[in-house]
Amino acid sequence: MEGGASISLPRRRVLQAAFCAAATLLAGCERSPVTPAGQPPLRIAIDLWAGYYPLLLARELGYLKAAGVEVEITLPENTRRLLSDFSSGRYDGVCVSLGDVVTLTRTSPDVRMVLASDESVGGDVLLARHASPDAAWLRGKRVGTSLGGFGELLVLRFLARYGLTFDDVKLVNADASSVPELLERNEIDLGHCWEPYVSMARKKGFEAVFSTSDTPGLIIDGLIFHNTVLQQRPDAVRAVVAAWFRAQEWWNSHPAEGDQRLLVLLKGRTDDVSRNGMRLLGLAENRAKFRHGDTDSSILHVADQYIDHFVARGYLLRRPDPGSLIDARMLP
C-alpha cells in the first residue's frame, strides 16, 4: 500500500463488518428504519392495564426508535370504543384480551395475536358490596360486564360455582371503567373490572367475590394486528415485538424506576401501575403459550373455549379456527 492510504475493497468490507459487529456489542449499530420515509407510524391503542405498559416503556426508553420503528400510542380508556375503532381501521393494532380477539372476528375476521402480554392471575375481579354471596342472594342480581366481551366467561364461571347460569341473574352491559361508579350508584349489584378500576371500587367499600386467581389461564391478553398490516409491514411489527420484550426485561430489572416513569407518563389517567394480579409473559412463555395443547396453558385451547361460549350465546355465526387467531412468526 502506498503511504498506507488505501485498503482493498474486500478488506474494507471485512473491516466495516467487524466494526459494526463490535459496535453492536458495545452500543448497537444504527439500524435502517423499518418505517420508511413517508409511511405513517403504526397506530396502536391500549387499555389502562399494566400488562400493556411495556409498549409505553419501549417508547420512553428509546427502544422503538433504536429498532427503527415509529409507533403512535393511544389510550382511549374505553374498551368497547377501542375495539370499534380498531374494527373500523382507525388503529393498526390494539392490546386486548384473547376473548375480545375472538369476538372481533365478527367484524374483522383477519385479526391476529402476535404477542401474549400477560396472564391475569387475580387482576380481573368481580366486585360486590356483599362479600360472601350464596345462591339465594345471587338470584335476580344485576351483574355488570361488557356484554359480548371476555368478562362474560369469567362471570359464567363464577355463577357455576353456585349452580347458577345467566338465566338466574340480570346481565348489565358495563365497561370496566364505569363499574366503580355503577356500583356506587346502585345500578348494578356486582361488576367485573380490572386495575386501576378495582382499587377505585375498593376505596368505595366494595369487595372481591371472585377473580382470575380462581380461573388460572382463562384470561390472556396480548397485542393484535390486522393481518393486512402483518402482510404489508412485517418488519415494523417484528421490531415492535422485539422492543416490547426488551422493555419488559428492563422493567423486570428496574421495577421501581419503571413504575416511576410510567406514573409520569400516565399522569391524569391513573396513579396505580401495579402488576399485582398479573403475570407478564416473556419470549419463552410466549413460545410455550402459542403451542397446541389440551390445557389452559395453551392459548389455542383457551381460544376454543371462548369460541364455544360465544357461539352458544349467538354472538358468533361463523366459528373461527383458533389457529387462525395466532401468528407466532412475529416473535423474535
| Confidence (pLDDT) at 11 | 36
Burial, 121: exposed, middle or buried (Cβ in 10 Å; 0-12, 13-18, 19+)? middle
| Confidence (pLDDT) at 130 | 77
Name the stretches of the chain with pLDDT < 50.
1-30
Dihedral angle sign, alpha carbons of residues 109, 115, 117, 121: positive
Between CA 293 and CA 275 the distance in angstroms is 27
Give the residue extent of every domain in the chain.
Answer: 42-120+218-330, 124-214
Between CA 300 and CA 67 the distance in angstroms is 30
End-to-end CA distance of the chain: 44
- Residue corresponding to grid cell 416513569: 261
> Could you say which architecture CATH assigns to the domain 42-120+218-330?
3-Layer(aba) Sandwich (3.40)
Q: Do residues 33 and 26 lie in contact, with contact meaning Cβ atoms separated by under 8 Å?
A: no
List the one residue out of 188, 171, 170, 169 whose CA is nearest residue 180. 188
- Whole-model pTM: value is 0.81
List the one residue out of 171, 50, 57 whose CA is nearest residue 122. 50
| DSSP code string of 215-263 | STTS-EEEEEEEHHHHHH-HHHHHHHHHHHHHHHHHHHH-HHHHHHHHH
C-alpha cell at 300: 389455542
Q: What is the DSSP letter of 29?
A: P
Domains 42-120+218-330 and 124-214 share a fold: yes
Dihedral angle sign, alpha carbons of residues 226, 231, 234, 236: negative
Strands 207-211 and 124-128, bridge-based pairing: antiparallel
Dihedral angle sign, alpha carbons of residues 61, 65, 67, 71: positive
Provide the CATH number for the domain formed by 124-214 in this structure. Answer: 3.40.190.10
| Confidence (pLDDT) at 32 | 53
| Confidence (pLDDT) at 14 | 40
One-letter amino acid identity for 176? A
